[in-house]
Amino acid sequence: MHDEDKAYLALRESLASYSSIGDDTWDALMGISTFRSLPKGCLLYRAGDTPTTYAYVYRGLVRGYVCDEKGNEYNKNFFDEGTFPGSMTALLTSTSSAFAFEAIEETLIIEIDFLAYRQLMIEKDDLKLFQIYYLEKNWLLAKDAREVEIVQEDATERYLRFVEDHANLVDRLAQYHIASHLGITPTQLSRIRKNL
C-alpha cells in the first residue's frame, strides 16, 4: 500500500474514532482532498494569507505559531499524526490568518478544501456528528484546560503538564519550540529540566 492510500485510511480511522462516516460521505470527502508531502521547514500556511484549506497530518509534525512585532515567535500548537492543522478562525471568517503553520519534520498531509467541506457537512448528518464530537473534545475542553493552565500554573507545572499531555512530542521537538509554547525562554526551560 502506498503512503497516499495509507494516509486516507488513517484519516478515515481518525474520523471514525469520533463518529462513523458512511461510504457516500467518505467518497465525497476524498473528492475535495489532496495528498501532499511537505519537506522540513516548509510553510503549509503563511501568516497574513487568507487560507482556503486545512489539513490532516498522516505522518510528521507541524507547528502553528505567531510572530510579534519584534520577530519573536510563540508556538500556539503542535500538530502530529492524526491532528488537523489550519487557521480555523481565518477559515470561518474568510480573513487573513494571524498564524503560520510550518512542517518541523518531513510531513505527509491530506489537504481539505474548507468551503467544500462546509457544504458537505450541511448535506451529510454523519459528518455533522463527527464535527460536533471533534469540536467538543478538541476545541472546547482543550481550550478551557489550556486557559486555566496559563493563568494558574507556574512554568515548572506547565512544563510537567506538557510532558504528561504530549509525551510523544517531547523528544521530537527542539527545546526552544517547547519553551516558546510554554511562554518562557529556552534558558528558563533548561533550568526547569535541570531542577527536575
> For residue 55, which phi and psi values (nearest 5 degrees)?
-135, 165
Query: In angstroms, rounded to a whole number, what is the distance separating the alpha carbons of residues 31 and 22?
Result: 14
Give the mean pLDDT of 158-164.
88
Q: In 10 A of CB 157, how many CB atoms?
A: 12
The reported pLDDT for the residue numbered 5 is: 96
The reported pLDDT for the residue numbered 110 is: 98
Q: 60-103, pLDDT tens digit by residue?
A: 999 999 998 888 899 999 999 999 999 999 999 999 999 999 99
**Structural domains in the chain, sorted by start:** 3-123 (2.60.120.10)
The CA distances from residue 154 to 51, 149, 157, 187, 195, in Å, are: 35, 8, 5, 15, 14
> Residue 166 pLDDT more than 90?
no
The reported pLDDT for the residue numbered 146 is: 60
Mean pLDDT of the chain: 91
Q: 103-112, pLDDT tens digit by residue?
A: 999 999 999 9
